Amino acid sequence: MSDTRPIGIFDSGIGGLTVLRAIHELLPAESIVYLGDTARVPYGTKSKETIIKYSVNNARFLLSQGVKMIVVACNTASAHALDDVVRLTDYPVIGVVEGGVIAALKKASVAIGVIGTEATIRSNKYPSEINRLHPGTKVISKACPLFVALAEEGWTDNEVAHAVTKEYLQEFKGKIDALVLGCTHYPPLKGVIQSVLGDGVRLIDSAEETARIVGERLTGLGLRANGSTRGKISLAVTDSPERSLEVGRRLLGENLEISGVTLVDII
């Protein structure tokens, strides 16, 4: 039996395409409906109540599209609203914090650094999950809000990117051996982050680990799409489809196999 219903993914914007790409690469037969809430991005500066309201709204839209699973591909929403999304449905719901935590614990032996939006860091979700699974692990966290703008602008390897990264991450030097990129927008800045922190620090991008968890969960529940036909990818945003496609291409480079974006009104 092959379950060809799509996987639903949402993010506050288009940064979650990094998670879509990892899932599509690992599970090419799966169809995906992606929703980017570009009308209300950023979530990283908002209150918990607002993040919950928007996330529930996004999940309802995906459920109306007949999805068999929801992936919350936004660290801020995963940190604040995962339980609320879980309560909406009997289908599996997977956030990106779980994957980031598991991957970090596999790679760190001294201490783990976590960077993310203001709301993600304020939630304390990463340190508490890390310490739930591995009590006593030292975690240092820091909000790096300007990274989102740098990634969107495509400024991932210029002087400004280097200066901002140095300013934010100087205090991590020599203190950690793994750094969780706890925001969907940060993976394009991997190069500059690595050059500031040095090769001794492993950078953790939760996208790949999340894709692995998605595959495992679908298989365990008998929900996998099988066969050699590639799944269909549908992209929807709540504002500015043209700009979203442009920023998406900037974030993912030429690998983005997306032809068009639909504008949806879920507000």
Give the residue numbers marked as catalytic. 74, 183
Distance of alpha carbon 123 from alpha carbon 129, whole angstroms: 11
Of 36 and 231, which CB lies nearer to ligand DGL in the complex structure?
Answer: 36
Query: In the set 33, 183, 207, 261, which binds ligand DGL (CB under 6 A)?
Result: 183
Contact 43, 95 (CB under 8 A): no
72: contact with ligand DGL by CB under 6 A? no
148: contact with ligand DGL by CB under 6 A? yes
The two tokens of residue 253 are 């480079």
At its nearest, how many Å lie between ligand DGL and the CB of residue 5? 25
Q: Rule CB under 6 A: which of 98-137 touch ligand DGL?
A: 116-117, 120
At its nearest, how many Å lie between ligand DGL and the CB of residue 150? 12
Question: 209 Cβ partners below 8 Å, 6+ apart?
Answer: 99, 100, 102, 103
Q: What is the three-class DSSP state of 238?
A: coil
User: Which stretch in 133-141, 172-180, 182-190, 245-253 sits in contact with ligand DGL by CB under 6 A?
Assistant: 182-190
At its nearest, how many Å lie between ligand DGL and the CB of residue 181? 9
User: Which stretch in 38-46, 192-200, 244-252, 254-262 sits in contact with ligand DGL by CB under 6 A?
Assistant: 38-46
At its nearest, how many Å lie between ligand DGL and the CB of residue 153? 14
Contact 147, 117 (CB under 8 A): no
Annotate 63-89 with three-state secondary structure: HHCCCCEEEECCHHHHHHHHHHHHCCC
Of 11 and 208, which CB lies nearer to ligand DGL in the complex structure?
Answer: 11
* Sheet bearing 178-182, strands edge to edge: 138-143, 111-116, 178-182, 202-204
42: contact with ligand DGL by CB under 6 A? yes
Beta bridge partners of 93: 70
At its nearest, how many Å lie between ligand DGL and the CB of residue 156? 15
Question: 14 Cβ partners below 8 Å, 6+ apart?
Answer: 36, 38, 237, 244, 247, 248, 251
11: contact with ligand DGL by CB under 6 A? yes
74: contact with ligand DGL by CB under 6 A? yes
Using CB positions, name the residue nearest to ligand DGL. 44
Distance of alpha carbon 6 from alpha carbon 224, whole angstroms: 10
Q: What is the three-class DSSP state of 248?
A: helix
Query: In the set 21, 68, 125, 185, which binds ligand DGL (CB under 6 A)?
Result: 185
- Binding residues for ligand DGL (CB under 6 A): 11-13, 15, 41-44, 74-76, 116-117, 120, 148, 183-185
